[in-house]
Amino acid sequence: MEIRIATRKSELALWQARHVAEKLAALPQAPKVSLVPLSTRGDEILDKSLQKIGGKGLFIKELEVAMQQGAADIAVHSMKDVPAEMPAGFCIAAVLERANPSDAFVSGSDKGFADLSPGSRIGSSSLRRQAQLMACRSDIEVVPLRGNVNTRLRKLAEGEFDAIILASAGLERLGLQEHITEEFTPEKMLPAAAQGVVGIECLADREDLLAVLSLLEDPETKLTTVAERAVAATLDANCQSPVASFAVVDSNTLTIHALVASADGSNVMRESVSGNIADAEELGINVASRLLEQGAGALLAGNGE
């Protein structure tokens, strides 16, 4: 069996695809694996915010078309970029063990987030990050920042920003962790659903692939991913909504924390729920339902979602 992996061309996407390829090649079936690098609209349109051009789903559409047309067999994604509702005919066949889920503060100086001067410019295109940053520091300015990891680091070095926010996992995967000034704890900045998780997508009817890919599944990561993505699905939120969710497993108990905020951080709603790991999806739905009872739907509508 040959497995062709559709992937974006960015350095981080290629790292993830090669990581999956190595794991597949190590299986007893020893399938032949090759990469199919593709360009996506999300990668090509860098002068507009993701909210204006259709959200992070633009990073994966071309990969799904390649699978539909038979040019590729699977696609590898950062799960935080995958919409909560999968398109008809597709599924997430497996998720790998979660890497660091934290958000990283990368400073242009030696200053930490709390030490930034009023009016400092922080680069981030995520409304989730913007809302939580401004909830802590209403005196800073969050400025849109697009591009791959190295492009963002270059813009910081050139002085366009006083600091930028990136996913710790991405920096670590590229060997760039020395740029991390500090990491936000979940209490300070709740991550995006499935942040730090690499997922493998394929056509839902490819039973031959599903059997092989299931061997790569990390059971605990599957539970936390299901719970966290259920929050976004229940809230009808997209990847750019100021919505966050983070689940942890302790023995047979799963605890999920969720957050909905106004884009300017002036209104932040939080909820947490714990229960049996067997009820991971229901726990995600439960915590989202509690947020809806608080008025989360109206808050998201007010953000223009």
Residues 33, 104 contacting (CB under 8 angstroms): no
Of how many residues is the chain composed?
305
If one counts every other C-beta atom within 10 angstroms of the C-beta of residue 267, the result is 17
In the DSSP assignment, the letter for residue 246 is E
* Two tokens, residue 12: 């981080």
Task: Tell me how far apart the alpha carbons of residues 51 and 223 are, in angstroms, rounded to a whole number.
Answer: 29
CA contacts within 13 A on the Cβ side of 196: 20
> Does residue 93 sit in helix, strand or coil?
strand
Task: Tell me how far apart the alpha carbons of residues 193 and 195 are, in angstroms, rounded to a whole number.
Answer: 6
Task: Tell me how far apart the alpha carbons of residues 223 and 140 are, in angstroms, rounded to a whole number.
Answer: 36
The sign of the torsion formed by the CA atoms of 26, 27, 28, 29 equals negative
Q: Mind telling me the catalytic residues?
A: 81
Task: Tell me how far apart the alpha carbons of residues 123 and 141 are, in angstroms, rounded to a whole number.
Answer: 9
Residue type, 101: P
* Two tokens, residue 178: 């020395």
- Beta-bridge partner residues of 259: 244, 270
Burial status of residue 290 (CB atoms within 10 A of its CB: 0-12, 13-18, 19 or more): middle
Residue in this structure with the two tokens 């000034």, named with its chain if needed: 181
Maximum C-alpha span of the chain: 58
In degrees, to the nearest 5, what angle opens at C-alpha 23 toward C-alphas 253 and 217? 25
